[in-house]
């Protein structure tokens, strides 16, 4: 059989968290649209959301699921806890990663039995490098973040500039990173700034090391957004990288867009009807991703800041465990006062659909990369409110490199709970992006949105990067 007749077969192994699974499904659809056969490896409960996301997809015959039992009990997790978003508390995070590493033998067996031509696996599976080597296929890493933050975090790891400052609040430049980007120790992960070696910090070191010895990295970004940093990643760090995003733009139909991730807590027609009744660029959208759960005090400050800004809003709220029982996280009579001007969604929201609506003029975001890039693709200025992970790097990209947003004033890396911000800061930041000062940011944001759509089109950089990646994988396989 000639190489022209043989079909390329790629195994995709997403980490079990919605922020990692959603872009991987988009990527599977993108490869399938080029006639590539895809097998997504996942676990029983996570397979439900994959099936929903693929339900109306025309090329879904090219995408199949391979389901491995998730070892919850063996790792000391509650039954049915198969997703990072469903962990009862952060204390269970080590157990969750233990469960993930226990998947190695059944995963290797599945790879041996199916013999795909390539493996694209999440950064959180560093052990898949060795597995792919034993099978004799290339492993590509999917980080789910930008080249900017990949460069920043690697230079930080290699050169440790934070060790040469006299206080936690003294700014220092990130060495070798273009653009004179400065950070403080407070904005680094706790295990980095306190220089503690624990199970998780050792694991993160493995993740970063596996990046330097895998075949290459698939990036959910596009060249025109961060050209200097794509070049830096390839030329200075010497890594192979293919920016093929924004992956969210793979979904064209409304139904496909709304079925990304979990079941929405609001009917999309009701949501769109409400947005249709608003003026262009008049609504601010507030959402902090699937993992940050603020306490009542912080939620009240956000509520008061929104009200004081005088802007119409859609606010997606995910509360912490204690707040589930409490009803007092909103100021007295708040929802009655906000009737018609504010929409509160408790749970999951069809984010891309909302951001793309002409009446949405601003986005308050935790700077998770999916959200940041969806904001870029929608052309909206942003208020940045990083919480954990690599979100402080993404904030720098938005506020200092792209200049399409302003910071709300977060000074400290505090995953899950966030650093406390008062209502005045919330009001001020919202006014800055939604009023006169935001006009320049809006113009720039609109330009990047045009470039994003161009990048994934047939003449675009992401489109041709995907072509060249597929050709390279074929030349290795056939």
Positions annotated as catalytic residues are 20, 122
Which spans in 163-198 are helix H? 190-193
Which residues have a Cβ under 8 Å from the Cβ of 94 and sit 6 or more positions away?
199, 200
Helices 227-235 and 147-159, interaxial angle, to 10°? Answer: 50
Neighbours of 478 (CB within 10 A): 13
Q: What is the DSSP string of 251-263?
A: --SHHHHHTSSS-
SS3 471: helix
Q: What is the DSSP string of 129-146?
A: HHHHHHHT--EEEE--S-
> Vertex 86, ends 255 and 290: CA angle to 5°?
55
- Residue in 154, 153, 84 with CA at minimum distance from that of residue 394: 153
Distance CA 420, CA 414 (A): 10
Q: What is the DSSP string of 366-427?
A: ---HHHHHHHHHHT--EEE---STTHHHHHHIIIIII--EEE----S--TTT-----HHHHH
Distance CA 430, CA 418 (A): 18
* Tokens at 231, concatenated: 């070049």
CA distances from 132 to 120, 123, 127, 211, 292 (A): 10, 14, 9, 14, 34
- Residue in 367, 425, 431 with CA at minimum distance from that of residue 395: 367
Which residues have a Cβ under 8 Å from the Cβ of 150 and sit 6 or more positions away?
143, 211, 217, 219, 229, 233
* Tokens at 282, concatenated: 């008049």
* Tokens at 3, concatenated: 């190489």
Contact 348, 261 (CB under 8 A): yes
- Residue in 347, 365, 367 with CA at minimum distance from that of residue 285: 365
């Amino acid at each position: 059989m000639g190489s022209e007749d043989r079909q390329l077969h790629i195994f995709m192994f997403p980490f079990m968290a919605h922020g990692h699974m959603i872009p991987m499904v988009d990527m599977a659809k993108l490869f399938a649209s080029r006639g590539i056969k895809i097998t997504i490896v996942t676990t029983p409960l996570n397979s439900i959301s994959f099936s929903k996301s693929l339900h109306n997809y025309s090329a879904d015959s090219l995408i199949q699921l391979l389901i491995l039992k998730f070892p919850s009990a063996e790792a000391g997790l509650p039954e049915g806890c198969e997703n990072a978003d469903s962990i009862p508390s952060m204390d269970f995070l080590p157990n969750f990663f233990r469960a993930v590493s226990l998947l190695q033998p059944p995963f290797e067996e599945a790879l041996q039995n199916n013999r795909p031509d390539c493996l694209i696996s999440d950064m959180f599976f560093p052990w898949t490098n060795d597995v792919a080597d034993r099978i004799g296929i290339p492993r590509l890493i999917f980080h789910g973040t930008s080249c900017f933050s990949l460069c920043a975090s690697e230079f930080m790891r290699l050169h440790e500039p934070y060790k040469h400052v006299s206080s936690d609040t003294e700014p220092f430049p990130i060495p070798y990173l273009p653009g004179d980007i400065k950070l403080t120790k407070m904005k680094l992960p706790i295990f980095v700034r306190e220089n503690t070696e624990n199970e998780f910090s050792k694991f993160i070191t493995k993740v970063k090391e596996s990046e330097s010895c895998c075949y290459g990295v698939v990036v959910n970004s596009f060249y025109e957004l961060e050209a200097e940093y794509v070049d830096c990643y390839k030329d200075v760090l010497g890594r192979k990288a293919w920016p093929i995003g924004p992956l969210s733009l793979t979904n064209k139909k409304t139904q496909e867009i709304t079925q990304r991730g979990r079941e929405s807590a609001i009917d999309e027609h009701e949501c769109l009807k409400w947005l249709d009744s608003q003026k262009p660029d008049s609504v601010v959208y507030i959402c902090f991703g699937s993992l940050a759960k603020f306490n009542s005090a912080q939620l009240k400050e956000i509520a008061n800041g929104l009200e004081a800004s005088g802007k119409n809003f859609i606010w997606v709220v995910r509360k912490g465990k204690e707040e589930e029982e409490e009803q007092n996280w909103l100021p007295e009579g708040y929802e009655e006062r906000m009737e018609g001007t504010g929409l509160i969604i408790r749970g999951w929201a069809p984010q891309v659909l909302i951001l793309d609506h002409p009446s949405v003029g601003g986005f308050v975001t935790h700077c998770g990369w999916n959200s940041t890039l969806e904001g870029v693709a929608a052309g909206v200025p942003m208020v940045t409110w990083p919480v954990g992970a690599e979100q402080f790097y993404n904030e720098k990209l938005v506020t200092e490199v792209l200049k399409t947003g302003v910071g709300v004033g977060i000074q400290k890396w505090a995953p899950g709970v966030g650093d406390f911000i008062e209502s005045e800061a919330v009001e001020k930041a919202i006014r800055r992006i939604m009023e006169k000062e935001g006009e320049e940011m809006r113009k720039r944001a609109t330009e990047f949105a045009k470039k994003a759509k161009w990048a994934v089109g047939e003449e675009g950089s992401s489109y041709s990067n995907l072509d060249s990646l597929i050709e390279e994988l074929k030349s290795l396989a056939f």
